[in-house]
């Protein structure tokens, strides 16, 4: 098949949406499909089967902010979009942004089947303007993207049941849903990784992800300060983002300076394997691949109780959950696991056993099958009309 993948956000693989996009593109190519990439990543201008639109300008101030977040946004130039879609068998759009919305209209006009990923919670947007707790606004975002995008696609790929339920509850509609995890790459697994010499007498606590309000790394920093074992905890925050300066200032009072570093995809797996505990403090999380990666490495994984995070469902039991945005309760959970190393080892084995559910190759295969199924159904419908 000729499949066009529409990527409103694409660039360096430093965010979940870009990583999910590239994983899907690589899988489809490996299965013999011709993959066209429609995006605004100017570095792909001369690459084969890449159709590049201009970057969307939001004004000097907002452009600087978007760049700081580490993404590029697409301006929907119609002639480029048409060239990317015309002659394709199927189209898959990663996000309900301007490029995806225009692609949907053209697909309907040309009778081409289109599926879409659901990779954005409303709070991912509203948290940037510090209004993520305003329920009517979040509901308004969901209704807008349903009306202008998801209502018009032939199938929706939800990474979790959690986000499907959230979306359908807010728009009060049943959607053509396919619940498939984005999956964990095969290189992410438990292996021997020696703890660096300077950490050998310390408890290494790791969290990974974009430094952002909804990821709640500040809660973890405060929790380490409240821990009985703060003087022997080496906190590592793997990532980058707009909150870095603020988090570094917040962590100055810790007995041991935390590590703030963006690791490559392979480096972070070494860190995961020598870390003692993984904490995922996010209060807003659609799936949480970094949390699944910790589980795939057999790490004792602690998550927030937030009702707006899918990761709460990954915890083995209540011993691995802390009260959302409550540093004191997170400190309690951390201290418990530091004090019970034998039980921690047992839980690590149990976490490792559930990791196979999220194997990426199988997940990508299911996403491909979704596209083929939707394409075939579209062809049957067209033939019946004729």
For the stretch 188-192, contacts whose Cβ atoms lie closer than 8 Å and that sit 24 or more positions apart, written own/partner, are 188/269, 188/272, 188/293, 188/296, 188/297, 189/269, 189/296, 189/297, 189/355, 190/273, 190/296, 190/297, 190/298, 190/352, 191/269, 191/273, 191/297, 192/273
pLDDT at 163: 96
- Taking each helix axis as running N to C, give the angle between helix 327-339 and helix 217-226, from 0 to 180 degrees, rounded to the nearest 10: 60
User: What pTM, to 2 d.p., does this model score?
Assistant: 0.89
| Separation of alpha carbons 377 and 374, rounded Å | 5
pLDDT along the chain (386 residues), means of 10: 95 79 96 97 93 86 63 87 98 96 97 96 78 85 97 97 96 97 92 94 96 94 98 96 94 97 91 98 93 95 96 95 98 98 97 86 96 96 76
- As a CATH number, domain 197-358 is 3.40.50.2000
**Architecture of the 2-183+359-385 domain:** 3-Layer(aba) Sandwich (3.40)
Residues 6+ positions from 102 with CB-CB distance below 8 Å: 76, 78, 81
Asked whether this chain's domains 2-183+359-385 and 197-358 adopt the same fold, the reply is: yes
pLDDT at 63: 66
Domain boundaries, the chain: 2-183+359-385, 197-358
Q: What is the CA radius of gyration of the chain?
A: 22
pLDDT at 354: 85
Query: What 8-state DSSP symbol labels residue 89?
Result: S
Average pLDDT, the chain: 93
């Amino acid at each position: 098949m000729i499949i066009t993948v529409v990527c409103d956000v694409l660039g360096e693989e430093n965010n979940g949406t870009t990583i999910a996009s590239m994983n899907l593109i690589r899988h489809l190519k490996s299965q013999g499909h011709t993959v066209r990439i429609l995006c605004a990543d100017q570095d792909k201008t001369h690459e084969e089967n890449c159709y590049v639109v201009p970057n969307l300008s939001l004004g000097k101030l907002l452009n600087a902010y978007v760049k700081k977040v580490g993404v590029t946004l697409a301006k929907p130039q119609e002639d480029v979009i048409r060239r990317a879609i015309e002659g394709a068998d199927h189209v898959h759009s990663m996000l309900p942004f301007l490029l995806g919305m225009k692609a949907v209209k053209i697909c309907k006009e040309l009778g081409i089947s289109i599926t879409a990923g659901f990779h954005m919670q409303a709070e991912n947007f509203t948290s940037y303007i510090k209004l993520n707790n305003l329920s009517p606004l979040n509901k308004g975002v969901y209704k807008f993207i349903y009306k202008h995008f998801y209502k018009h696609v032939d199938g929706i790929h939800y990474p979790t049941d959690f986000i499907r339920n959230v979306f359908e509850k807010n728009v009060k509609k049943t959607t053509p849903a396919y619940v498939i995890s984005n999956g964990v790459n095969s290189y992410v697994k438990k292996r021997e990784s020696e703890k660096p010499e300077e950490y050998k007498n310390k408890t290494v606590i790791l969290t990974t992800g974009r430094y952002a309000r909804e990821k709640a790394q500040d809660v973890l920093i405060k929790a380490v300060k409240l821990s009985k074992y703060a003087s022997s905890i080496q906190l590592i925050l793997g990532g980058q983002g707009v909150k870095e300066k603020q988090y570094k200032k917040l962590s100055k009072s810790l007995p041991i300076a935390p590590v703030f570093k963006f690791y490559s995809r392979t480096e972070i797996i070494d860190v995961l394997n020598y870390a003692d505990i993984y904490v995922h403090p996010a209060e807003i999380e659609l799936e949480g691949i970094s949390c699944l990666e910790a589980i795939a490495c057999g790490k004792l994984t602690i998550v927030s109780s937030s009702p707006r995070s899918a990761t709460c469902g990954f915890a083995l039991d209540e011993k691995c959950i802390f009260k959302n945005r409550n540093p004191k309760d997170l400190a309690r959970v951390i201290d418990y696991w530091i004090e019970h190393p034998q039980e921690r080892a047992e839980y690590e084995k149990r976490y490792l056993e559930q990791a196979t559910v999220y194997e990426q190759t199988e997940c990508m295969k299911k996403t491909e099958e979704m596209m083929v199924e939707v394409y075939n159904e579209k062809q049957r419908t067209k033939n019946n009309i004729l």
